[in-house]
Amino acid sequence: MGLTIGAGPFGERPQGRFDFDPPAHVRYIEPTAKHVRAEKDGRTIADSRRVMLVWEMGKQPQYAFPAEDVTVEGRPAPGLDSFVLLDWGDADAWFEEAEQVIVHVRDLYHRIDVLETTRHVRVSIDGVTLADAVPKMLFETGLPPRCYFDPTDVRLDLLTPSETETG
């Protein structure tokens, strides 16, 4: 997932390898052209068009804001004078441009592609078929491919509701 998480080059389980000995800790900083905003209890606590993205080994990317664009106390952003970091939980809602960002900062280096396929896939448990069709294939950076079936191709009568959710 991206540069610093999971199978990324500076993540915990890199898929590839370098042809040199990488440092034990990496922090990568780059500007984003996106307008980023954060809200807490219905009021804006950060609003900037001068945001930097900060990646650190083993962590999701974070937004670093110019201190003057933040109305709450943030942590100093290492390597960025006069910039502060806010933890994801410091805000109730985060926005890139006018679109809400859910779960964590969007990673510029993390691809998600959903492709049509000709693969025929059968899913079964203990010999009972749950789905048997041509799904869409989801390819996500650093993760194994996943199949997404049309609900009409799934034996929904064999499934039970769960409290488990992703995201």
Q: What are the pLDDT digits (tens) for 27-83? A: 999 999 899 999 999 999 999 999 999 988 888 889 999 999 999 999 999 999 999
In this predicted structure, the answer to whether residue 1 has a pLDDT above a threshold of 70 is no
Per-residue pLDDT at 94: 97
8-state DSSP, 3: T
pTM (predicted TM-score): 0.70
pLDDT tens, position by position, 101-126: 988 888 777 778 899 999 899 999 99
Residues 53, 61: Cα–Cα separation, whole Å: 6
pLDDT bucket at 147, cuts 50 / 70 / 90: very high
Question: How far apart, in whole angstroms, are the C-alpha atoms of residue 164 and residue 133?
Answer: 25
Contact 36, 96 (CB under 8 A): yes
Rounded Cα gap, residues 139 and 34, in angstroms: 25
Where do the structural domains in the chain lie, given as residue ranges? 1-109, 112-158
